[in-house]
Structure 1
Amino acid sequence: MVMRPLFSGEDIDLHIVLGTPILYSRSYDMIIFSDVHLGFEESVARGLDYSSRRVSTRYTGMFIPKIQLRNTLKKLGFVFKYLKPKRVIINGDLKHAFDRLLRQEREEVKKLLNYLISNGVKEIIVVRGNHDNFLPIILREYGIELVREYELYFNNYKTLFIHGHLEKDISKYDLVVIGHEHPSLRCFNTYKFPAFLIVPTILGNRIVVLPAMSAYHPGTSISLDPENYLSPLIKKYGILNKARVIVWVEYETVEDIEFGIESTVSEDLVIIDNYQLDNRGISVIEFKDIETALLTCGL
């Protein structure tokens, strides 16, 4: 067991892979992740800033360690050790530069795709993010189409995968899975934990926001203010005071066992599931709402 249900107490075939920003579906034998931002290190070295515009602005470049691809493959290596998925959805922002195709992007996107294929993946779906211009130049070598959105059913829940940076009528879907935000929970003004968000909407459906795969993009600090978010879907439809927050904490353990679990529930406000896997501990913490998460984290 290396998974934890995304929806506690509901029969929806979406599960968090422990210690990762990756979802897994048993019925489709599929993993889902978002916001890898390969090539970020080269853009920083060149002094290209894509933080707020569709084209780059210049600043003084600096060299930072090339860790994006290595960290991504490490997370995927954990997944393939246990699950062997045959399908993958990359839900936007596979690469980083808006206005060009950087050499690092070309090389590392190919390395990632080759890694997936070499591990038995038979189908790769890539959803277009706002950073994915010029990506089809690479994908066509693999026979992969860059799609604007993708639909599936999970236990009769009609689900839309879309990056989340554009307006979209989502009224006909039960679940909408987006990236783009890179949500995180800031604690005690020191720590920032990547977070899954489950946001109910005024339409009666839910938006699932994925944390980023990128190590260099801690992203949007969750809050109750819709103006702090990037996605027009959250701004327009989200009921943020009822949004659930799920984070994970890793720690070393000396217990020489592969797996164990203990669950505790505190006044129906916080659910903590404690796991031991590969000689490390992982605690998955689900907060009933954003206010509870912020109060618990000293904000």
Structure 2
Amino acid sequence: MSAVAEADLLRRFGFYKSALYVREINLCVVSDVHIGLAETLYQQGLHFPLHEEETLLERFGAVLDRFNPAVFVLDGDIFHAFDRVSRAARETFAAVLATLRAECEVVLVRGSHDTMLPAVAGGTVERYDRGGYTVVHGDRPVGDHGTLVIGHDHPAIEIDMARFPCFLYGEGVVGGKDLVVMPAANPLSPGVTVNHAKGRDFLSPILRRVDTGRLQPVVEVDGEVVVLPPLAGIRRFA
């Protein structure tokens, strides 16, 4: 299958600050916010201000201003810690929710880290279906679905010795349905380099069953969105 043209993909989707906007259904998705990651890094010895809450609120505010979505989905791994939610993490989560709910409907999809999320938030779901699209975190297989939007693997791509968070797009790669893999929304997450990645290198059981060579990285660099050739070609010439 030939590579999808950049113009065609950008007519269908918006890509901004690690958020995906599905134009035809006015839906925005971010994945892997990992609230509390800054606190964990501090406990591990990074003793300098990381300003996680301020950074996340700025990002979400900018995404809302750019796309003005009707629905905003937080697609799993909303919290970083598995076993507890600190006071600081709760406060950041509350601030993020207040920012989003002031503008649109918010859907919380549970991820592999979100064992505490139902107790903190309530009203969470394992998947969200809307207008031919299915949003799941990606940490488990999924049955019948539309175009899949998943997170979980934090893809990033290395270009000229610099690493950039990236989306991965695959036309018809999951049972004939399209796939979008989300980068981590938390800028403190470095991402996992996918330049040479094959199916077995991914965590998601969904990605392990697709021809990952057909996935096209989508990168935002200095405000410009660039759709790169499929990973098979990048492997060949890297």
Distance 2:135 2:234 in 1: 26
Distance 1:174-1:86 versus aligned 2 partners, 3 A rule: closer
Q: Residue 196 of structure 1 aligns with which residue?
A: 167
* Bigger mean CA deviation after superposition, 283-292 or 78-87: 78-87
Q: Residue 57 of structure 2 aligns with which residue?
A: 73
Give the unaligned 5+ runs of structure 1.
48-60, 251-281
Q: Residue 184 of structure 2 aligns with which residue?
A: 212
Distance 1:113-1:294 versus aligned 2 partners, 3 A rule: same
Preserved contact between residue 181 and residue 229 of structure 1 (Cα < 8 Å): yes
* Count of residues in Structure 1 that have an aligned counterpart in Structure 2: 233
Query: What secondary structure, in the 3-state scheme, does the structure 1 residue paired with 2:220 have?
Result: strand
CA-based RMSD: 2.5
Distance 1:98-1:80 versus aligned 2 partners, 3 A rule: same
Distance 1:25-1:202 versus aligned 2 partners, 3 A rule: closer
Letter in 2 for 1:176: L
User: Which protein is richer in helix relative to its size?
Assistant: 2
Displacement of 1:78 in angstroms is 2.0
Give the unaligned 5+ runs of structure 2.
none
Q: Residue 207 of structure 2 aligns with which residue?
A: 234
Letter in 2 for 1:16: G
Distance 1:17 1:227 in 2: 27
5 Å-filtered alignment, 1:7-26, equals 8-9=7-8, 14-18=12-16, 20-26=17-23
Equivalent residue for 2:120, pick from 115, 126, 138: 138
Q: Residue 111 of structure 2 aligns with which residue?
A: 129
Query: What secondary structure, in the 3-state scheme, does the structure 2 residue paired with 1:108 have?
Result: helix
Preserved contact between residue 127 and residue 150 of structure 1 (Cα < 8 Å): yes
What's the TM-score, normalizing by structure 1? 0.70
Larger RCO, structure (CA 8 Å, separation 6 or more) = 2
Displacement of 1:166 in angstroms is 1.3
Distance 2:100 2:78 in 1: 14
5 Å-filtered alignment, 1:1-299, equals 8-9=7-8, 14-18=12-16, 20-47=17-44, 61-118=45-102, 120-121=103-104, 123-140=105-122, 145-153=123-131, 158-169=132-143, 172-188=144-160, 190-199=161-170, 200-201=172-173, 203-222=175-194, 223-236=196-209, 238-250=210-222, 282-294=223-235, 299=238
Query: What secondary structure, in the 3-state scheme, does the structure 1 residue paired with 2:153 have?
Result: coil
Letter in 2 for 1:71: T
Preserved contact between residue 184 and residue 220 of structure 1 (Cα < 8 Å): yes
Q: What is the percentage of aligned positions where both structures have the same residue?
A: 27
Letter in 2 for 1:168: V
What's the TM-score, normalizing by structure 2? 0.87
CA deviations 1:228-280 (Å, max 9, x no partner) are: 211111002x1112111111210xxxxxxxxxxxxxxxxxxxxxxxxxxxxxx
Query: What secondary structure, in the 3-state scheme, does the structure 1 residue paired with 2:57 have?
Result: helix
CA deviations 1:57-97 (Å, max 9, x no partner) are: xxxx4434233322222222222334332321111111100
